[in-house]
Chain A
Amino acid sequence: MKRFGGLCIAMLLGWATAALAQTWQVDATHSALTFTNTYQNVEYTGQFHRFDAEIVYDPNDLAHAKFDVSVDIASLDTQNSERDHTALGADFFDTAKFPKAHFVTTAFRKTADGRVVADGVLTLRGVSKPVALTVRFKPDGDTATLDVTAQLKRLDFGIGTGQWADPSMIGDGVTVRGHLLLHARP
């Protein structure tokens, strides 16, 4: 019982120190921003190799949490050079006019089943829409892993409209996943 009490105190102390708003540095080489979509009804995965993320996160202080992510769209890679070239063109991401995508959180909340959801606004191809991320955060000493998932619809952002709108050609639904390795900033 004494031991249990000691453990409880240690855990409380641990929480107390973690309760200070924590800023994290993204380890780019061990992090990835990927998405899954379908082309001719076949699933494929793409990646944005370059992005910047400012992460302020403490699981016990969601009120002060903030994600601010900027993505270099031209770093798109779907392992298919024709597809990448087309995707950056005016009919799709139109990187000449919109080189960056930006996501910033507005609020964090806990769902009934205990998951953390980050509500935010994604600005992509000049269109700003609310987007919700599910957040999984695993601290491990001075490092942590952060996994986020979001469901988007490409047509909401005007990516491949008109003749390319047909979802049997290019699926409308896109699942975006971020896997970040974080280092605590002092």
Chain B
Amino acid sequence: MPLRSTEQGWGALVRTFHWLIAVLIVAQGVIGLTMVQMGLTPAKVRVFALHKSIGMTILALVLLRIAWRLTERRPADPAAMPRWQRRAAHALHLALYALILALPLSGWWFNSTANAPLVWFGWFDLPSLTGGYAPIWKPRALLLHQTLFWILVALLAGHVGAAFWHHFRERDDVLRRMTIGPRKQNGEAR
């Protein structure tokens, strides 16, 4: 599997970014929805700290991923794909990048308005985005974070649905080239 992406498929680095971020987003969603139901114990404080640390990790990973993507090509869309589908797919991917950036940023903003600590895995502090407690903005930041989350869930449903549709209905290489790699011309996976 080449490191860089080719005309036929995604490179190893893009696939690693994709699946690492995917796993972290799923974990983050589960942790986020669970933690808000917890009673106030030290465990809750630790789970919140974990949620914040994972969020900041996703932010760093997606920035690196975008930086890397700008240095290389993307594989060609399947030849059979109509123009509107290509446009829709690219728009969805762009929206996903925007959401994956906006969610940790809105969380960081919310955390800043609440004047809560933000220590990456207990290792180092991240600065406040608001320069201290900002109770007027706090409910708005929380609403934004929650709204963006549900928009991301909807977009991801579309993303996953489209991947399966390509794989099982269209029987093309779209899902394969982000996982095991595209088929060779003779039909074998490589």
Contacts and interface: CB of A to CB of B under 8 A. Distances in A.
A44 B118 CA distance: 12
Nearest to A80: B115
B61 to A, nearest CB: 23
Contact of B132 (A40, A42, A79, A81): A79
Contacts of B82: none
Contact of A40 (B40, B49, B114): B49
| Chain B interface SS verdict (over half) | loop
A43 B119 CA distance: 12
B97 to A, nearest CB: 31
Nearest to B46: A169
A164 B117 contact: no
Interface residues of A, number: 15
B42 A41 contact: no
A29 interface: no
B165 to A, nearest CB: 44
Interface in B107-143: 114-117, 119, 122, 125, 132-133, 135
Interface of B: 40-42, 45, 49, 114-117, 119, 122, 125, 132-133, 135
Given A42-B125, A169-B45, 18 more contacts: A40-B45, A40-B49, A40-B117, A40-B119, A40-B122, A41-B117, A41-B119, A42-B119, A44-B117, A79-B132, A80-B114, A80-B133, A81-B114, A82-B116, A86-B40, A163-B42, A164-B42, A166-B42
